[in-house]
Structure 1
Amino acid sequence: MADTAVQKTGALPKTGKPTNSFYGIKDTTIGIIATVFVVGAVLAYTIPRF
């Protein structure tokens, strides 16, 4: 597996995912979208509606 080769090189981040630019950008984008969605949902419920 490619994961074992990455683990031997010690190029794994703390998340355990291989350092791949494409998947890194993809995961970051999904993370940002999820964070914005969650924050927006929390603000929508906590802040009184105008």
Structure 2
Amino acid sequence: MVNASDVSPHRLYRQVRLGLGRKPVPDVELDVHRAMEVLRLRQLWCYRR
């Protein structure tokens, strides 16, 4: 995941996402989408075993 220390998406988030073959996310939804991805990955990391 491409992430930055502040709450906004990293400037490369969109390019990496497209490079991985994932669907583009509209600009108005990008912040919410990225926050949901961060939450999902944190949960996976916390409960891995």
**What TM-score do the two structures reach when normalised by structure 2?**
0.49
Structure with bigger gyration radius:
1
| More helix per residue | 1
- Larger RCO (CA under 8 A, 6+ residues apart): 2
